[in-house]
Amino acid sequence: MKALITGASSGIGREIAIYLSELGFDLILASRNKEELEKLGESLKTKVKIIVIDLASEKGAKDLYMLVKNEEIDLLVNNAGFGLYGDYRSVSLPAELEMIELNVKAVHILTRMFLKDMTSRNNGYILNVASSAGLLRGGPLMSTYYATKSYVTSYTLAISEELRRNKSKVKVFAFCPGPVDTNFNKVAGVKFNISSISARKAARYAIDSMIKGKKVVIVPGFKIKMGLFFSRFVSIKKMLKITYNIQRRKK
Ligand SMILES: NC(=O)c1ccc[n+]([C@@H]2O[C@H](COP(=O)([O-])OP(=O)(O)OC[C@H]3O[C@@H](n4cnc5c(N)ncnc54)[C@H](OP(=O)(O)O)[C@@H]3O)[C@@H](O)[C@H]2O)c1
């Protein structure tokens, strides 16, 4: 079995790579940091190929597909992504557009291109790393990030139903963790005020749940599950206030 993981040089992607290798997967690891990818590759027991690539462009995502299209990928993990903290006036437009390129467009392009191959052979899994942020209705002070993750969850859910209706054996999943202890905070410029789970725990939960295949949306951790459950009974206006207050404390 073979898996392609984007954003494998750090955090959740790195831990997913380690776990999948333990499960016997050969791996293709893609991100920008060659040194970290090589270090990780050398530490794993299964076959590893490294692709150093910037995925924050349509070209990057399409190039990655072209580089691996002849390999039979059983599992695609669309994990590369980042967030930015700040009110809409303080975050730069080019940085937001870069986030949309990576978190939305690259995920969309790679999902579409691999789905075509997977559905034609009626076999394969796609795990899109979204966020619990994607299950809420707006995230003040991280507005663009929340919106990108809403796109990923919404798109993945819709595709999963189309596949189910077509009786396809191909499956897609949206992984929606709350805070995870990775480089994410440093890149986004935030400090989490609620406890985070380890990247190792998040990664293992995601893969185990995907293998069980019971739920399209995978949420690790009791607290986050409860928070998301109760958010359904709160008005949008109230929820935006609550989210704003949680986000404000992250600074
Ligand atoms: N940490 C959290 O609290 C949390 C919660 C929910 C969801 N998530 C999601 O989990 C995913 C992984 O994030 P993480 O928490 O593991 O953060 P991380 O430790 O910062 O890892 C992000 C990964 O994305 C890669 N990446 C960033 N920009 C890229 C680009 N332009 N092209 C290719 N790869 C790029 C990075 O690799 P290079 O720098 O080598 O390119 C790195 O491997 C993200 O989609 C994030 O939104 C995180």
Query: So what's the pLDDT on residue 192?
Result: 65
Question: Of 22-26, 147-151, 185-189, which range is least confident?
Answer: 185-189
In angstroms, the CA 23 to CA 125 distance is 15
The structure tokens 């940091």 sit at: 33
pLDDT band at 57 (very low <50, low <70, confident <90, very high): very high
Strands, DSSP E only, in 53-155? Answer: 75-78, 125-129
pLDDT reported for residue 222: 95
N residues, the chain: 251
Taking only the tens place, the pLDDT of each residue in 190-241 is 876 678 999 999 999 999 999 999 999 999 999 999 999 999 999 999 999 9
> What's the pLDDT score for residue 193?
66
Backbone angles phi, psi at 218, to 5 degrees: -110, 120
Give ligand 1 pocket residues (Cβ under 6 A).
6-13, 31-33, 36, 54-56, 79-83, 102, 129, 131, 177, 179-180, 182-184, 187
pLDDT tens for each residue of 120-174: 999 999 999 999 999 999 999 999 999 999 999 999 999 999 999 999 999 999 9
Residue 123 Cα to ligand 1 midpoint, Å, equals: 27
Residue 251 — very low, low, confident or very high, per pLDDT cuts 50/70/90?
A: confident
* 145 given a catalytic annotation: yes
Query: Which of 65, 85, 125, 145 is labelled catalytic?
Result: 145
| 250 band by pLDDT with thresholds 50, 70 and 90 | confident
Q: How far apart are CA 217 and CA 93, in angstroms?
A: 30
pTM exceeding the 0.75 threshold for the entire prediction? yes
Give the pLDDT of residue 64. Answer: 98
**Secondary structure class of 28 (helix, strand, coil):** strand
Query: Average pLDDT, stretch 22-33?
Result: 98
**Closest atom of ligand 1 to CA, residue 83:** 47
Number of domains in the chain: 1
In this structure, the residue with its CA closest to atom 33 of ligand 1 is: 31
Q: How far is the CA of 29 from the centre of ligand 1 (A)?
A: 13
At 16, is the secondary structure helix, strand, or coil? helix
* Domain CATH number, residue 146: 3.40.50.720
Work out the angle at residue 171's Cα, subtended by the Cα atoms of residues 174 and 178, and round it to the nearest 5 degrees: 15
Across all residues in the chain, what is the average pLDDT? 97
* Residues contacting 173, CB < 8 A, separation 6+: 125, 126, 127, 128, 156, 160, 206, 209, 210, 215, 216, 217, 218
Could you tell me what percent of the chain has a pLDDT over 90? Answer: 96
Q: What pLDDT was estimated at residue 190?
A: 86
Predicted local confidence at residue 191, as pLDDT? 73
Q: How far apart are alpha carbons 12 and 185 in whole angstroms?
A: 13
Q: Which domain holds residue 23?
A: 2-248
Instruction: Give the whole-angstrom CA distance, residue 78 versus residue 153.
Output: 12
Find out whether 227 and 177 touch, Cβ atoms under 8 Å: no
Distance from the alpha carbon of residue 144 to the mean position of ligand 1, in angstroms: 15
Share of the chain above pLDDT 70, in %: 99
